[in-house]
Chain A
Amino acid sequence: MPNAIEVVNVSKRYRIGAKAPNSIREAITGRLAWRTPADPEREVWSLRDVSFNVEAGEVVGVIGRNGAGKSTLLKVLSRITEPTTGVTRTRGRVASLLEVGTGFHAELTGRENVYLNGAILGLTRREIGDRFDAIVEFSGVGRYIDTPIKRYSSGMYLRLAFAVAAHVEPDVLIVDEVLAVGDAEFQRKCLAGMGAVGAQGRTVLLVSHDLDAIARLCPRSLWFDGGVLRLDGDTQDVIDAYLQSTRDGGGEQLEVEDARGRVLLHAVRTVDPSGQSTNILRRDRPFDVEVDISVRERIPGLDIALFLVNQRGARVFDEVWSDVAPTRAEAPGRYVASITVPPLLNAGDYAIGVWIGQGYEEILSAEAATNFTLEGSSKGRPDRIVELLLPWQCRPVDDDAQHQQPAASHQHRR
């Protein structure tokens, strides 16, 4: 197949800090200083000499830590920002879904937003009209389509937004982490939709922290690390290498911050029952996962999710704070949020990811924030993910059995 995406020696530099003036006064008073050569310490290379090609019809995953350059790559490919050096080429209609519901306006009705969002994604009114019924059906919003979306639940909002995006029918689809939002049912629908997109011969580039989804959808993946394309190849190999690298790093002290400096993630730790922070835990004991964060400003609806990925890339669970605690810490300060994991996981290596957000909006995330090993025997059954030791019941259903085992019916009432 011919190429649909070509990336040739692309680098992207961002200047941060006070060198560039942000107000007219600074521009005037700092005019002389401003022209001096750029301070290299105030430069960040989000992408460094990245080259790769994607053939038409390929579905390619992009993985890497926060700040690895994934989002910058998507922005350059979508032509939202220019590369500092190098060139990207895309063929045909490109739709970039860097955010679900870009341009949605709370005051407008679902119908009005579908047309607006469609126009933003590059559809003409007629094209949206042709797809309108399909979009409404996909979204499941139904009779609320003429209600202002400020009255929608966040789930309805997301479903409608994704429904529009799913009907753009581009030649090249660029998706950033839209799977991180929404409930399980919605995610399944999105994945099905995206699988269908790939099957129709469209080219897809998918960034996700959900390694499981990447593994299912993308035969090939790219791993970015510090702006550099570390590995390009078969998804399973790339995920293995990626998880391996984070294991080597220990991941004890992260000290990562979001772009606006609202939240600083100090560390994600695993703690054994004696209170000792360690990466080696016993599978027959409970353990705690702690998220150590500093919140710099009041963030209403601050939410944390923890997810556990096993060595085969399957997401064993994700636990979201807001699912169980409607009121959460809002005031600035340093917090340790933790969950206790009961002893039910099989022995093996695990990675823990963390997502910190406000409502559905991500503030920062680290998908392999720390790793740990559950020591112990898998009791000869390495394939099972959990061992629940659920109680068994046995109830006789024919006369013979009832006569022979009169006590059986009492057994399960213990």
Chain B
Amino acid sequence: MAEQLAPPQPGGRWVENRPSRGFRAIDLREMWAYRELALSLALRDLKVRYKQAAFGVAWAILQPLVGAAVFTFVFARMADISSGTIPYVLFAFVGTTVWAFHSSAVTSGTESLVENSLLVTKIYYPKLVSPLASCLTPLVDLGISLVVLAVLLPIYGVNPGVEVLALPVAIALLFLVSFSFALWFSALNVRYRDVRYVVRFGIQIWLFISPVAYPLQLVSQPWRTLYVVNPMVGVLDLMRWSLVDGPAPGWGTLGSLLVALVVLLTGLAYFQRTESRFADVI
């Protein structure tokens, strides 16, 4: 019977547990074997969110709409910020949609291990699954927002060109950035519970130093060059270029990718190094 199952550890193979030294490589085969757990956890978080919510999925549609409306009122009407050739509502809608994903993925990713401490202390699984699952859940909201955007585009007379084919790349970069930070913060939060508070208001500050409500062109030099270290700049540029006919992304996007990769690799290293002690210190 055991042979018929597709077990995480193939039947008959010896699995060792010994003290780890230094950095270990990520066991990609094991991560693949646990993909269903990541999906199940993501699905759980999604289901739980909409249980006993009378309007259910309507909230996922309403949130970015309200966000974009507020931004339009405050920034376009009162502060008179120009978004170039793009209608400001669409500009802000893409911004809030991207930010909703990022904020949700990073904050829930930060909590992913601590919130599931019973899982961490009672079950063996590659712990990377936890922050990964937390970043999968908000993908659904992102998808719903994109559908809403598809309705908004013709209303505002914007026809996305072939750039829309770059959308998967833009989403992949967004996911990469959010996951990389979630990785760092989730592992740090196991050790230092201060991290959750830092992340909560850090995300707020990050929102204002990212071109979510305003275009990067409004930022004066030398600050604009400094913005390259903020990986969300590249994500937002890429998203707006692919969806609402924004200006073509420049070298800054490549800079964002590089920063994201650095955060990802250091995050993986820190995570792998501390993972073996999660169950002891959580």
A: which residues have CB within 8 A of B?
Answer: 14, 20-25, 27, 75-94, 96, 98-99, 102-103, 105, 107-108, 112, 115-116, 119-125, 127, 148, 169-171, 200
Contacts and interface: CB of A to CB of B under 8 A. Distances in A.
B193 interface: yes
A27 B188 CA distance: 12
A93 B52 contact: no
Interface stretch (B1-9, B100-108, B139-147, B241-249): B1-9
B36 A20 contact: no
Given A14-B280, A148-B51, 17 more contacts: A21-B192, A23-B193, A24-B194, A25-B194, A76-B17, A78-B123, A79-B17, A80-B123, A81-B277, A81-B280, A98-B122, A107-B47, A112-B47, A120-B119, A124-B36, A125-B36, A171-B11
Contacts of A102: 118-119, 122-123
Contacts of B250: none
A127 B14 contact: no
Nearest to A97: B122
Contacts of B13: 91-92
A292 B75 CA distance: 67
B104 to A, nearest CB: 19
Contacts of B277: 81-82
B124 interface: yes
B159 interface: no
Contact of A80 (B41, B44, B124): B124
Interface of B: 1-2, 5-9, 11-20, 36-37, 39-41, 43-44, 47-48, 51-52, 116, 118-125, 191-195, 276-277, 279-281
Contacts of A105: 44, 48
A96 B47 CA distance: 26
A79 B39 CA distance: 22
Given A93-B9, A102-B118, A107-B48, A87 B279 contact: no
Given A119-B36, A120-B37, A82 B19 contact: yes
Given A82-B18, A93-B11, A107-B52, A120 B2 contact: no
Q: Interface centre among B17, B36, B119, B280, by most A CB within 10 Å? A: B17
B9 A80 contact: no
Nearest to B34: A122
Q: Most chain-B Cβ atoms within 10 A of its Cβ — which of A76, A78, A93, A171?
A: A93
B279 to A, nearest CB: 4
Contacts of B192: 21-24, 27
A116 B44 contact: yes
Contacts of B18: 82-83, 86-88
B36 A107 contact: no
A122 B15 contact: no
B8 A23 contact: no
Contact of A92 (B9, B44, B116, B280): B9
30 contacts: A22-B191, A24-B192, A24-B194, A24-B195, A77-B17, A80-B124, A80-B279, A81-B277, A81-B280, A85-B19, A89-B15, A91-B15, A92-B9, A93-B7, A93-B9, A94-B124, A102-B122, A102-B123, A107-B48, A107-B52, A108-B44, A108-B48, A115-B40, A116-B41, A116-B44, A119-B36, A120-B37, A120-B123, A148-B51, A171-B12
A92 B119 contact: no
A91 B193 CA distance: 37
B15 to A, nearest CB: 5
B118 A99 contact: yes
A51 to B, nearest CB: 14
Contacts of A98: 122-123
Nearest to A120: B123
A137 B119 CA distance: 26
B186 to A, nearest CB: 16
Contacts of A169: 1-2, 5
B122 to A, nearest CB: 5
Pairs A-B, 9 closest by C-beta atoms: A119-B40, A93-B7, A87-B18, A79-B124, A81-B279, A98-B122, A82-B276, A107-B51, A79-B17
Given A108-B44, A169-B1, A171-B11, A96 B37 contact: no
Nearest to A13: B280
Contact of A122 (B7, B48, B193, B194): B7
Nearest to B45: A105
